């Protein structure tokens, strides 16, 4: 296998190296790094996207596309979004949901695009140091796109963020490590730890069975990629489906270890919440109590980007190959970065402390009521359901309406000061609406995972919700699972009374 390509500026060297990479990718065949790492799509031409040229020396030979709302103010944030293999800028623009929030929250988007000239299957070369290290190849091209967009839109250089899917997520992790002085936050969707692989063969190891390094070892890979003396790090969201067989779910744990170590928070979550789409959110706060790392585990989701088509405030995107109808990841990521203007998620909380004593005061089939202790000086309170703002009230209690029967929701509350800034959120409390009828399912462990009732890890199967061990992940082992609440299953082999 050839040495990883490092751009030296000679065009004939670049062409020769790319030819070798195309041969390597073709020889690998149908594995996920190539055709499996995401859907085929046309080249960028979607309405609303604008191609930008002349953005720098472009050593990675990438294309730059942008989108911005017509009324974009000066000093608005900037989000860079990286597609997966065999995808394009227009594909990611059309499916991911990011344009919706660019319009509603007011920020610009950059969609870098690679091609088959760089990689046989149009993957960003996240596994090639010559393309993913600071100041080199594709990584430098993307940095130059940021510089161009900042100049073009007058973007706030302190609020530049990056997100990516699959191969784009692998590149996102590397760019967060290489350019912590450029990116204030990132989102790694179905991706891999920074510097996990430095060759094609190592890429497959990372994808299917990532190295079980210590948090400090993972963190050292980030620190060694960053400029010497770096002390300020990006806030990182990690998205992973539990049924992903292309990028093993273990990668999410290694990513968590990596970035929590960088932040010095430890690997025990500050709190967990249950979100829609079978999603569990684990939050890791920094020393000031602000979320630094968030891990979103989507139960039963295969390889892809989590979207939730619809017109609701929390919905976004369109389904397609590797765009999976579960939850709108772009919405939750934007809120985590503070792009929605909320005070509690973007590192600029209000002056008031988090309310204490949050408790459920009552539920019906379609409502849930919560109460809490008053906070001195609070002008109002913001109530969040599953991490999303659902209402504002002058005082406790608050009743949330229009809920689904037999469904569990997580609530938090933040006190809002006289300036309108929300402080940190309270501890979470779960409320389950009434009226759910348990249901039983008997099937093999494999069939349970395919149906979204269980998930597998390391070749073993676990019931969704309860995480009860079900044995080997195969078609021979059979269990009866009882769904006691939506998305919550327990083993009921001894008899099911549903």
Looking at 88, 96, 122, 166, which residue is catalytic? Answer: 166
The H or E element spanning position 263 is helix 250-263
What number of residues does the chain have?
Answer: 498
CA distance 464 to 470: 11
Query: From CA 175, how far away is CA 188, in angstroms rounded?
Result: 11
Q: Go through 105-138 and write b for each residue having 16 or more CB atoms within 10 A of its CB, e for each that does not.
A: bbbbbbbbbbeeebbbbbbbbbbbbbbbbbebbb
For residues 367 and 407, is the Cβ–Cβ distance under 8 A?
no
CA–CA separation, 63 and 333 (whole Å): 25
CA nearest neighbour of 458 among 176, 118, 99, 209: 209
**Residue showing tokens 């204030």:** 184
Give strand pairing partners of 369. Answer: 362, 399
* Angle, alpha carbons 365-366-370 (nearest 5°): 100
- Say whether 299 is catalytic: no
Active site members:
166
């Amino acid at each position: 296998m050839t040495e990883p390509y490092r751009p030296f500026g000679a065009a004939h060297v670049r062409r020769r190296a790319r030819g070798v990479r195309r041969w390597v990718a073709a020889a690998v065949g149908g594995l996920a790094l190539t055709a499996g790492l995401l859907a085929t799509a046309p080249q960028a031409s979607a309405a609303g996207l604008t191609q930008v040229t002349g953005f720098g020396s472009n050593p990675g030979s990438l294309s730059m596309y942008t989108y911005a709302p017509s009324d974009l103010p000066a000093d608005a944030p900037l989000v860079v979004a990286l597609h997966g293999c065999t995808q394009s800028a227009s594909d990611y623009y059309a499916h991911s949901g990011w344009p919706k929030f660019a319009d509603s929250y007011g920020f610009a988007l950059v969609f870098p695009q690679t091609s088959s000239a760089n990689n046989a299957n149009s993957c960003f070369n996240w596994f090639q140091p010559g393309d993913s290290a600071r100041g080199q190849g594709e990584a430098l091209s993307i940095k130059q796109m940021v510089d161009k967009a900042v100049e073009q839109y007058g973007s706030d250089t302190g609020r530049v963020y990056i997100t990516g899917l699959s191969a784009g997520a692998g590149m996102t992790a590397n760019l967060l490590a290489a350019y912590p002085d450029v990116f204030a936050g990132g989102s790694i969707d179905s991706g891999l730890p920074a510097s996990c692989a430095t060759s094609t063969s190592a890429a497959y190891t990372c994808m299917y069975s990532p190295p079980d390094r210590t948090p400090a070892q993972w963190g050292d890979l980030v620190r060694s990629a960053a400029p010497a003396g770096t002390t300020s790090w990006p806030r990182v969201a990690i998205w992973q489906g539990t049924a992903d067989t292309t990028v093993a779910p273990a990668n999410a744990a290694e990513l968590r270890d990596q970035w929590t170590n960088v932040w010095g928070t430890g690997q025990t979550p500050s709190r967990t919440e249950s979100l829609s789409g079978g999603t569990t959110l684990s939050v890791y706060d920094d020393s000031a109590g602000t979320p630094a790392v968030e891990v979103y585990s989507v139960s039963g989701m295969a390889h892809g980007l989590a979207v939730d088509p619809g017109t609701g405030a929390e919905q976004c995107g369109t389904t397609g190959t590797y765009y999976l109808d579960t939850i709108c990841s772009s919405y939750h990521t934007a809120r985590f970065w503070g792009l929605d203007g909320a005070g509690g998620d973007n590192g600029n909380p209000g002056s008031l402390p988090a309310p204490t004593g949050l408790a459920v005061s009552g539920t019906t089939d379609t409502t849930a009521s919560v109460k809490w202790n008053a906070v001195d000086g609070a002008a109002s309170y913001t109530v969040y359901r599953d991490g999303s703002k659902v209402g504002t009230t002058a005082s406790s209690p608050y009743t949330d309406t229009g809920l689904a029967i037999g469904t569990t929701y997580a609530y938090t509350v933040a006190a809002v000061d006289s300036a309108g800034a929300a402080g940190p959120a309270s501890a979470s409390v779960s409320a389950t609406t009434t009226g759910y009828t348990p249901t039983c399912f008997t099937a093999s462990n494999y069939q349970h995972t395919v149906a979204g009732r269980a998930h597998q890890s390391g070749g073993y199967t676990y019931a969704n919700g309860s995480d009860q061990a079900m044995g080997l992940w195969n078609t021979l082992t059979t269990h009866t699972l009882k769904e006691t609440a939506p998305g919550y299953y327990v083993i009921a082999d001894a008899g099911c009374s549903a």
